A and B are shown apart, each in its own frame.
Chain A
Amino acid sequence: MTGKTKENYNSNYLNYVKTQIPPTRHFKNCLSAFGVGGLICCIGQFIRFMLEYIGLSGDELAGTTSVVLIFLGCLLTGLGVYDRIGRYAGAGSIVPITGFANSVTSPAIEFKTEGWIYGMAAKMFTVAGAIVVFGVISGVIVGLIYYFI
């Protein structure tokens, strides 16, 4: 079987496979992402209130809140809890800043066995690298639009 026949055969097979794949439960996933993501934001807000209470304000307050959340994200990754949350929460635990912390810490832990420099340090951004690149690009685009209007 070659050429056109093979192509037809393959597309028939792929269509058939599509009917067999169990559907992704979008509604349930969205709901749990909404719940967990919201909860993480609530915790962030709680930390913010507490820090405000002890006398921080402005950029200092925003920065410290982020630092505390990043620390918690890293800690939970190291303890092996964050991936379990992620399995159920999906995007809910990936989108907040704790998810970014998780994407940096997890390869760092994973590749530690290949040495500190070429393993841990070099491979730390295998997942987060993409987030940084496209984060900066979209930041620039939004910045330009904002500048012109």
Chain B
Amino acid sequence: MKKGNTVFFKNKPRVESFAAVCGSKEKEGIIGQYADIALDDDMYGESTFEKAECKMLTTAISQCMEKGGKSEKDVDVLLSGDLLNQIISASFAARDYDLPFLGVYSACSTMSESIMLAAMLVNAGYVKRAIAATGSHFASAERQYRYPLELGCTRPPQSQWTVTGAGGCMIAAKDEGVKIVSATMGKVCDYGVTDVNNMGAAMAPAAADTIIQHLKDTGTQPSDYDMILTGDLGALGSRIVKDLSWEKGYDISKVHVDCGEIVYKVIESEFQGGSGAGCSAIVFNSYVLKKMQAGLYKRILFAATGALLSTVSSGQGESIPCISHAVELEL
């Protein structure tokens, strides 16, 4: 059933298992206690950062299956994506499995988009079990979007730090566990922000648009949720999204939490907090789902945000189009 841009899942697909792998810097923060594997070495025993990113993703997918007590035979499809050109990490991770693979790219909102698609497939009955996973790596993202790692340049105060980590969850038609109730497909929003260091400000309108659309379509108020979780807006973007939704008549300030804002212990070099596909993936697949399973949160709205730019488009002076997809979960 669809209303507005929101699809409602009648059969209530459920999160069967979830797993997260985080890097050494993330380990120091709150996620360190919740992640399944916290790395001490960001190279993860590999020779390049791209291989390390791929290995983290593979580990997250395997952990998902292991924790759910399932093997490749039981899973019908893998949906995955990442930030690198031609989503190599996801595709290379998929070659290790005997599974159909659907590549997804939605920048940092890949996690919510792949969960949404997996839930749609499961709800419709086309597949019994699907895995949605994504990840990112600070060093590989830095090389692709910014400068070499060792270059001694300063970061502006509005910048964010790409999270090293990967997370995934297995979605199946079951009777128990966290339900996926509905999902809102996001629209691309562009408010003309051209500063590639200021992703929070670029993505906030997309997040506000999708959250408000979801609230309208479901006929709910922010107070109906225990938590409205955005992906990687950072401290600055979080302030903006609260302002934007307040302006439209929805006060989300009491329930809003941003993954990027909570992922790091506050250290000055990250400025506004974490970003990247891995940011929402590790926070959602460890901290949030564990707390939901424990019954601390009953109903949450997970709206990860993505900036759909490339180094070419930003070099040519284009503004940054952004997107956000939302998934509503209930215990």
Residues of A with Cβ closer than 8 Å to B? 9-11, 13-14, 16-17, 20-25, 29, 77-78, 80, 82-90, 93-94, 99, 102-103, 105-107, 109-111, 113, 126-127
Contacts and interface: CB of A to CB of B under 8 A. Distances in A.
A10 B191 contact: yes
Contact of A17 (B48, B240, B271): B240
Nearest to A21: B158
11 contacts: A10-B191, A17-B240, A22-B236, A25-B157, A83-B152, A83-B153, A87-B152, A89-B152, A99-B152, A106-B150, A106-B152
Interface string B215-230: 0000000000000000
Contact of A110 (B148, B236, B239): B148
B198 A86 contact: no
Given A20-B236, A21-B198, A113-B48, A14 B191 contact: yes
Contact of A24 (B47, B153, B156, B192): B156
Nearest to B236: A20
Contact of B147 (A10, A25, A127): A127
Contact of B236 (A21, A102, A111): A21
Nearest to A114: B48
Contact of A22 (B50, B147, B158): B158
Q: Is the interface of B mostly helix, strand, loop or mixed?
A: loop
Contacts of A80: 150
B152 A110 contact: no
Given A22-B157, A24-B157, A110 B198 contact: no
B215 to A, nearest CB: 20
Interface of B: 47-48, 50, 143, 147-158, 191-193, 198, 201, 205, 236, 239-240, 243, 269, 271
Contacts of B143: 110
Contacts of B198: 17, 21
B157 A82 contact: no
Contacts of A110: 143, 148-150
Nearest to B154: A90
Given A17-B198, A21-B157, A85 B193 contact: no
A82 to B, nearest CB: 5
B193 A102 contact: no
A107 B240 CA distance: 36
A88 B156 CA distance: 12
B99 to A, nearest CB: 28
Contacts of A24: 156-157
A17 B148 contact: no
A107 B146 CA distance: 11
A3 to B, nearest CB: 13
Contacts of B269: 87
A29 B154 contact: yes
B152 A102 contact: yes
A20 B239 CA distance: 8
Nearest to B192: A10
B247 to A, nearest CB: 10
A106 B193 contact: no
Nearest to A86: B152
Name the 9 nearest CB pairs between A and B, nearest first: A86-B152, A10-B192, A110-B148, A106-B150, A106-B148, A106-B151, A17-B201, A22-B157, A90-B154
